[in-house]
Amino acid sequence: MDPVIVGKLAERARRFEEIERMVSQPEIASDPRRFPALLRERGQLERAYELNREVLALTADGTEARSMVESGDQELAELGREELERIEARRPALEREIKRELVKDEELARTRVIVEVRAGTGGDEATLFARDLFEIYTRYAELRRWRIEPIEATTSDVGGFKEMIFALDGPDVWNRMRFESGGHRVQRVPATESQGRTHTSAATVAVLPEAEDVDIEIRDEDLRIDTMRAGGPGGQSVNTTSSAVRITHLPTNTVVQCQDEKSQLKNKAKAMRVLRARLYDAEQQRLHAERADQRKSQVGSGDRSQRVRTYNYPQNRCTDHRLSDNHSLEGITAGKLDPVIDALIEVDLAERIRAL
């Protein structure tokens, strides 16, 4: 077995043992910020610890089996050869499992994301496409049994979305939705096109893992919070009370605004969720940039600038530009994204293993 791979596995096993000792200490167990983070890290390392124990056991068994083969006793040697065959039969599958464990990104276990869909080039048609993307993700969430929560929407005159921000909550949500980040393009005849010509419009999608308190700290003195009356449609109280909230993170000049709720407190809470996710994502993007060569080789890098998918309505075809095959557009618009995402996960995994 590759000694580099075995060494990396042993490092994780040692870290697991270190955390085991740490969480038993009273001063750490009583720390409301550090203790949950350590428990989560321990859970993420537990499988590596178990695999390392299996490697050590197989190594010991192999040493003993070779001694039996070399013992000079015919019956004992035969038992030793049978044991070596068992070890060799297990080795390839074990090595594959270890590689998958080593390239597993702890961040992929996150169960909450914030998705931002924005209309790009194409005018009104682009806003309608942004609405279509939101509906695709809504159907996909229903199929996966994820909870969806709209946070902020800016509509267009034709009923589309200039911007739509929503949260998704459920198992495997970040691992699967991360592939949606990037540019999406649609080719179709708009409803407003009188001569039947096909137009191309675009929208961008940003999928941000929703940060937790232990991930990022936001100081009160770094925030400027403004309240105002909400704009646009929304009923009597929306436009007559100062319920809309705009939060500016002064060190990064990141601005988030929320006005969908009638309650100022609810709008503030939603705006803080989006702000926290954006700041956390910015930090993750910075870390990715430090590993630029590795990032370019990975499908799941989350590069916002790359065009990821084209939806061709005349040919009922959806092309994901990171894959070599096409998919039925009818299935995609019905929310059946799993075939595309499953293929992307496999490609991403293979590239991560090659980069070990």
Report CA-CA distances (Å) from 215 to 81, 125, 173, 199, 220.
52, 38, 18, 43, 16
pLDDT value at position 339?
Answer: 95
C-beta of residue 84 within 8 angstroms of C-beta of residue 65: yes
Report d(CA 355, CA 116) in Å as an integer.
Answer: 31
pLDDT value at position 98?
Answer: 93
Compute φ and ψ for 58, nearest 5 degrees: -65, -40
Report d(CA 40, CA 136) in Å as an integer.
Answer: 32
Q: What is the DSSP code string of 96-164? A: HHHHHHHH--GGGG--EEEEEEEE-SSHHHHHHHHHHHHHHHHHHHHHHT-EEEEEEEEE-TTS-EEEE
- pLDDT one digit per residue (tens) for the chain, 356 residues: 788 889 999 999 999 999 999 999 999 999 988 999 899 889 989 999 999 999 999 999 999 999 999 998 999 999 999 999 999 999 999 998 998 899 887 778 888 999 999 999 999 999 999 999 999 999 999 999 999 999 989 999 999 999 999 999 999 999 999 999 999 999 999 876 767 789 999 999 999 888 765 567 788 889 899 988 766 544 444 445 678 899 999 999 999 988 878 888 888 888 888 888 888 888 777 766 654 444 344 444 445 567 899 999 999 999 999 998 899 999 999 999 999 999 999 898 888 877 77
Q: Kindly state the tokens that stand for 31.
A: 């720390």
Which position has the token pair 């229903």? 142
pLDDT value at position 214?
Answer: 55
Which position has the token pair 């267009």? 156
pLDDT value at position 295?
Answer: 39
Report d(CA 235, CA 229) in Å as an integer.
Answer: 12
pLDDT value at position 241?
Answer: 63
pLDDT value at position 217?
Answer: 78
Closest alpha carbon to 222 in 243, 259, 247, 257: 247
- The pTM (predicted TM-score) of the whole model is 0.68
Closest alpha carbon to 348 in 294, 275, 310, 284: 294
Q: Which domains does the chain have, with CATH numbers?
A: 3-104 (1.20.58), 109-213+299-355 (3.30.70.1660), 220-289 (3.30.160.20)
Report CA-CA distances (Å) from 36 to 12, 209, 214.
19, 18, 8
Residues 6+ apart with CB under 8 A from 212: none
User: Judging by DSSP bridges, how do beta strands 112-119 and 161-169 pair with one another?
Assistant: antiparallel
pLDDT value at position 191?
Answer: 75
Q: Where are the beta strands (DSSP E) in the chain?
A: 112-119, 147-155, 161-169, 182-188, 199-209, 223-228, 244-249, 254-258, 307-312, 317-320, 326-328
